[in-house]
Amino acid sequence: MRRFCSSAAVHEEPITPPVEVKYNQLLINGQFVDAASGKTFPTFDPRTGEAITNVAEADTEDVNRAVSAARNAFDEGPWPKMTAYERSCIMLRFACLLEKHSDELAALETWDNGKPYEQAANEEIPMLIRLFRYYAGWADKIHGLTAPADTLHHVQTLHEPIGVAGQIIPWNFPLLMFAWKVGPALTCGNTVVLKPAEQTPLSALYVSKLFHEVGIPPGVLNVIPGSGKAGSTETGKAVLGAAAKSNLKPVTLELGGKSPFIICEDADIDKAVELAHSAVFYNQGQCCCAGSRTFVHERVYDEFVEKSKARALKRVVGDPFKKGVEQGPQIDTEQFEKILKYIKSGTESGATLESGGEKLGSKGFYVQPTVFSNVQDNMLIAKDEIFGPVQSLLKFKDVEEVIRRANSSHYGLAAGVFTQNLDAANTISRALRVGTVWVNCFNIFDAAIPFGGYKMSGHGREKGVYSLSNYLQVKAIVTPLKNPAWL
């Protein structure tokens, strides 16, 4: 039955992107080169499923070339030997150049990923620039300490770069994830080998070329597109296992989530509905921290369901280059089919389909904004990370119950709480076993706010001062003191 249709504009001819693909090779040692094997792979336009261009596909030989270039740049090159101020200046020049190319970057991100252009241009590109300015500011503020000793010795600590950082970024926020990883690694004096997601390699290649234009030395930043998934918990396990079996490389992991969004009985329902809607449907629902488990107090549940349904039906789905579009296509066929299977599972398990539930259009990977009510904790749509525009509405009676149920997940990335009661906000936010709790807000990603998970959502933190520790080693230096005037 096709009773629940969102506002859609997916039957029109796709808008021609206002940008050209300039870079589709591997970037190794400051040069764009073909893969050693000569192999390429297509990257697709999610609006149509058609190829945008073919991109060089790295394999083992190319990885070794990139690592060798990065190692040589660290051991023999100028980057780690520069003053921190000089590194900071290069990163600031890079941020300025990003501003000059912001329209092209937003268009390229939309074309390769499917996210709304207005989202990319007005939110993500400015944050990309802010992140690099933020990390540029940290470069000359990283320092060790002196510590008192019980004996006649001078003790100092140094914070040293770890060397070569291998980085894997996902496809849902390609440029922001580039900044989350590359920014702190470079500001600490490391060199980088970066693998962008195979679905979205174009923007990482573009901005890396810009980085070289402002003076980053060859070999410091290498980009090697290729096959392989990123972001999932299973991928994280594989990476961690490989690191342990090789040479015990330190690993940080920012993985999946199934974030609870808790609506208390005193909430302003209209505001809560809009915030909960944004929490799950933002970026086509392709957010690791999406508030996809919406817990609503039983006294306001029925009203919340009706208003959430109405909001989902008003959501504008269509060509992401079109003004006013809120939701573009999903990233690819695999994700598209996965979402539809979870929607089918929801209906088969007894949840009530309030809106959406089907694909939109005859081509591309568009999915209707979908809302389920009467969702139970044991249903797959309430347990698994769907990574799509699917909202599950669950009913709860009291604070103790919702805390227990919210924590009953192997994920622990983020959560939201909506209430006018400060005591309730404090009680719930401290009890939730997650890395971030947003109170009366959601998806706030300031450059200084650390982000990362508990449990199977990973370990280590991105952004903020805490991210620097991922890329530094601490060395203690102890020297004797002869007849010191003081200790």
pLDDT of residue 228: 81
pLDDT of residue 1: 39
Q: Give the E-state strand segments of 18-171 in sequence order.
A: 26-28, 31-33, 40-45, 50-56, 146-147, 153-161, 164-168
418 phi/psi in degrees, rounded to 5: -120, 110
The domain covering 26-252+461-473 belongs, at the CATH homologous superfamily level, to Aldehyde Dehydrogenase; Chain A, domain 1 (3.40.605.10)
Which uninterrupted H or E stretch holds 438?
strand 436-439
Instruction: Give residue-wise pLDDT tens across range 412-465.
Output: 999 999 999 999 999 999 999 999 999 999 999 999 999 999 999 999 999 999
The pTM assigned to this predicted structure is 0.96
Residue of 198, 254, 354, 385 marked catalytic: 254
Joined tokens for residue 66: 């990139």
436 phi/psi in degrees, rounded to 5: -140, 135
Nearest to 230 by CA among 202, 206, 201: 201
3-state DSSP of 387-400: CCCEEEEEEECCHH
Which segments of the chain belong to CATH 3.40.309.10? Answer: 260-448
Q: Which CATH architecture has domain 260-448?
A: 3-Layer(aba) Sandwich (3.40)
Q: Return left, alpha or beta for 231; rule: phi > 0 is left, psi -120 to 50 is alpha, else beta.
A: left
> Between the CA of residue 448 and those of 73, 125, 380, 458, what are the distances in Å?
29, 17, 35, 19
> Between the CA of residue 134 and those of 101, 130, 138, 450, 468, what are the distances in Å?
19, 6, 7, 13, 12
* Percentage of the residues of the chain whose pLDDT score is greater than 90: 92
Say whether 13 is catalytic. Answer: no
Q: Which residues of the chain have pLDDT under 70?
A: 1-11, 231
Buried (b) or exposed (e) across 19-51, using 16+ Cβ within 10 A? bebebbbbbbbbebeebbeebbbebbbbbbeee
pLDDT of residue 233: 82
